[in-house]
Chain A
Amino acid sequence: GAGVSQTPSNKVTEKGKYVELRCDPISGHTALYWYRQSLGQGPEFLIYFQGTGAADDSGLPNDRFFAVRPEGSVSTLKIQRTERGDSAVYLCASSFTSGSVETQYFGPGTRLLVL
């Protein structure tokens, strides 16, 4: 596709449930980033991949959050035992490479609501 895609666009779940959010980056982009954005705030960094490996996961809030990118393309963000405070828009971005200043291209986000 031409841009970054994310599925689902909206996800409503109950407290304590497990959710998976998917990101399909721009073809050829080796760097992939996950951010979380709450209402009225800027995107907050969670984790970034260079290829298949998580190069920096310092933004993950706790061990309930985990992300994978097994083949260096599609990535899945996994949240266990969801809490109401996890409700936010989860944004994925990709860039051609990392290790230098690169423009990030964002997907439309997944709006997660934990009831």
Chain B
Amino acid sequence: GQNIDQPTEMTATEGAIVQINCTYQTSGFNGLFWYQQHAGEAPTFLSYNVLDGLEEKGRFSSFLSRSKGYSYLLLKELQMKDSASYLCAVSSGGSYIPTFGRGTSLIVHP
């Protein structure tokens, strides 16, 4: 099985930078996804990491260390609309089906 751990809730100020961590334990790692989910809406794809290192996409960046079983999502220049749940999901094994963590609820305040 897989064990995915991320903080339950974080708060940050508009315009600031926030880092959301995700640790995982799995065998046969294929890749790691980050999804954003606003309340009452479907998860939407943010990023995908297969190799170690940092992937940057606009205000959002995602980092992966496979040897440490660790990833983080970095959000810069926070906006109020970034208030949402951020889901870490790990794909492993032959099925490639992602297993999701419980999500981190990010609250951005003025």
Residues of A within 8 A of B (CB): 4, 33, 35, 40-45, 48, 55-56, 91, 98-109
User: Could you tell me which B residues sit within 8 Å of A by CB distance?
Assistant: 4, 8, 30-31, 33, 35, 41-45, 48, 50, 87, 89, 91, 95-103
At the interface, is chain A mostly helix, strand, loop or mixed?
Answer: loop
A103: contacting residue among B30, B45, B87, CB under 8 A? B45
Given the interface contacts A42-B87, A43-B43, A43-B87, does A103 sit within 8 Å of B33 by beta carbon?
Answer: yes
Looking at the assembled complex, report how far the CB atom of A24 sits from the nearest CB atom of chain B, in whole angstroms: 14
- Smallest CB–CB gap between A39 and chain B, Å? 10
**Residues B99 and A106 in contact, CB atoms below 8 Å apart:** no
Which residues of chain B come closer than 8 Å to A106, judged between CB atoms?
35, 42-44
